Amino acid sequence: MYSRIIGTGSYLPEKVLTNHDLEKMVDTSDEWIRTRTGISQRHIAADGQLASDLAVNASHRALENANLKADEIDLIIVATTTPDMVFPSTACILQNKLGIKQCPAFDVQAVCSGFVYALATADAFIRTGKYRNALVVGSEIYSNIVDWKDRSTCVLFGDGAGAVILTQSDQPGILSSHLHADGNFSDVLAVPGSICDGKVQGSPFVNMEGNTVFKFAVKVLEEVAIEAIEENNLQTTDIDWLIPHQANIRIIRSTAKKLGIPMEKVVTTVDKHGNTSAASIPLALDIAARDGRVQSDQYVLLEGVGGGFTWGAALLRW
């Protein structure tokens, strides 16, 4: 028993925040942001809009793309760092908004690697034969946890959601997944706040050591990509599309160069979306699938790295 992606969907909030808009908010410039990150704009959720709201829009589009009804879903996994509330899970809230009854629903928290973690989890469940159709979503509202006075971080992030439908198949779709974590780096990229006595203890905003994140990301993204390729007895030249986490164009280019994969085979959306954390990979996957770049029988490599540190890859046969 295998699992295969049969539908993709994505959603971006209507509000667009450009680099020129940010110039009016903090001491930065369009040129500085673009040359260092590759980002020109990002989408920002409306007041009161929640991660589950973005997720439900992406889910509807994925269900339509898969030609499935919501009640045919029997497993829901949501990857998010910005849940609607402490509990219940955003997955349970999404389940209710979709009108789905009683199927398992839970969140996965692995930050920017979250979608890869969630996809690997859903794949493992489907391979048991117990579940037939899984909805896997990455949904984030980072505008809620960004300090808009901190020019080193506020220029990087955006909001959005992406979703896929996995179904049982007798032919391999998800060929393999490879997950890793190293908690020794837990303070390098973090939102170190917590709730105690009804108050936030510590900082509720993203804190990041940029140089450390960059060096670590390039190193492990190369390693985990090679791990996935070798596991399946392939060469890097066999990869038709690399869809990495969309954090920074310099990280993406450096990783592709180390792997020997030309940028023409790399899907990039960071210029329009910014870093949408767990949503970035499914957002990029949906766009590439819908515009015809990703086609049947191609090898597609997904990979991400995020706070924790966590990192992982999934190799797909489309």
Residues forming the active site:
112, 245, 275
Which among 154, 160, 161, 250 has a CA at the least distance from the CA of 207?
A: 154
Q: How many whole angstroms separate alpha carbon 300 and alpha carbon 15?
A: 31
Q: How many whole angstroms separate alpha carbon 136 and alpha carbon 77?
A: 5
Q: Is the dihedral of CA 11, 124, 297, 275 positive or negative?
A: positive
The DSSP symbol for 12 reads: -
- Supply 221's token pair: 């993204």
- Supply 8's token pair: 């993709």
Under DSSP, is residue 268 helix (H, G, I), strand (E, B) or coil? coil
Q: How many whole angstroms separate alpha carbon 250 and alpha carbon 241?
A: 18
